[in-house]
A = this chain, B = another copy of it.
Amino acid sequence: MPPNDDRVPLGDFAGLPAAPARLRSTDIARLAGVSVSAVSLAFNARPGLSETTRRRILQVAEELNWRPHRAARALKGANNDAVGLVITRPARTLGVEPFFAHFLSGLQSRLSTDGVATQLLIVEDVQAEMAVYRRWAAENRVDGLVLLDLEVDDRRPELIAGLRVPAVILGGHGAPLPLTSVWVDDHTAMTRILHHLATLGHRLVGHVSGIPSYQHTRRRLQALTDARDTLGIEVVSVATDYSDTQGALATRGLLTATPRCTAIVYDSDVMAAAGLGVATEMTVPVPGELSIVSFDDSIITRLPHPPITALTRDTYALGTLTATELLHVIAERPAPRTLQAPTPELVVRGSTAPPGVRGTECPLAGMIPPKNTDPDQMSADSP
């Protein structure tokens, strides 16, 4: 029996509840009076067709809203027009972290200009994450991958390189990596913060750090160690999981210790804001008796009073940069290289001041902007 010649190729299905028959390239070919090969050539912009024929084919296809079936196309080794992004943090906390949303927006925005979509998946742990990479590679599901939160001794780059999937790592640096990497100079960035605090006169500084196994956390910690000699600053670091809960807890711990630090640096905006809340609650005036700096900037650091001094970087742009690099890796398969994103700049706001300046009898006076509406204190994003 000849294959499905009984299909209605162009039924008038207006108003019919029955599903319309799927069009195939043969249908287009027939209507355009050419062969299927010609249709393929037209759609892939390959030479071997007269301009008139090509246009006729495309027009017929356009009229019928026909497009090559992507599975059939992928079967021949074509691109998937999709890149994968697997996230291993707990899903609940994901929405809280502005970094992800911004990064994802930038990433997807750049990819969209090439018609590439993002495959997003949330998993429990690194074990599951690696299983997903295996699966996707075996299934040929994505054209490329983005790796987040590179750890110290991370086995994922090796796995992915072995699977021969194009990928870009965010945050990798140091040991030669088998994959292209985009990284940020956290050391210099952290040093900027400490330099600011040292200039103000702070000598004992607290640090509420993120997950210590992440490479970028390590770079920040290294900067703290180096500052001891360079800037004469002593730093007490507390590790957390980036949650506001742990950020608050760590703050409470730092503020009850003696001698008490006069400034605290937070590895994320969420924790910084939570820390500010704790300080307020404990009636520790900010910035009168405690200066607060956030390593990450977002709406969360700009909204509280006082607004929080923070390192600002264009996370959205970091996403587009990563996307551009990934598209390049997919297209050209170049040798791995390491790319540096711009180092975050310090934006001084109301939460930092010289240490030990007591407020008036109203313990919160320092937090309240004076009657005048001096815009510099409120929102100006420059030192």
> A-side interface residues toward B, CB under 8 Å?
19-20, 23, 65-75, 82, 84, 91-92, 94-98, 100-106, 108-109, 112, 117-123, 134-135, 138-141, 164, 244, 270, 273-274, 276-278, 280-283, 298-300, 303-305, 315-316, 362-364, 367-369, 371, 373, 375, 378-379
Contact = CB atoms under 8 A, between A and B. Distances in A.
Q: How many monomers of this protein are in the complex?
A: 2
A143 to B, nearest CB: 12
Contact of A135 (B67, B91, B98): B67
Contacts of A19: 164
Contacts of A105: 91-92, 94-95, 122
Contact of A91 (B106, B119, B304): B106
Contacts of A65: 134, 138
Contacts of A112: 121-123
A303 B305 contact: no
Contacts of A117: 84, 119-121
A278 to B, nearest CB: 8
A104 B109 contact: no
A92 B317 CA distance: 10
A170 to B, nearest CB: 16
Contacts of A103: 95
Contact of A139 (B69, B91, B276, B373): B69
Given A71-B75, A371-B283, A108 B95 contact: no
A122 B108 contact: yes
11 contacts: A20-B164, A69-B140, A71-B72, A71-B75, A72-B75, A95-B105, A101-B101, A118-B120, A120-B120, A281-B369, A299-B300
Contacts of A66: 138
Contacts of A315: 95
A373 B119 CA distance: 41
B164 A273 contact: no
B68 A373 contact: no
A224 to B, nearest CB: 26
Nearest to A123: B112
A71 to B, nearest CB: 4
A71 B367 CA distance: 59
B119 A119 contact: yes
Contacts of A108: 91, 120-122
A69 B78 CA distance: 13
Contact of A67 (B96, B121, B138, B379): B138
Nearest to A97: B101
A157 to B, nearest CB: 16
Nearest to A91: B109
Contact of A281 (B68, B84, B98, B378): B378
Contacts of A92: 105, 316
A214 to B, nearest CB: 20
A368 B139 contact: no
- Top 3 A-B pairs ranked by shortest CB distance? A95-B102, A71-B74, A95-B101
A144 to B, nearest CB: 14
Contacts of A95: 98, 101-106, 315-316
A281 B244 CA distance: 27
Contacts of A375: 281
A333 to B, nearest CB: 10
B378 A368 contact: no
B109 A122 contact: yes
B303 A277 contact: yes
B369 A316 contact: no
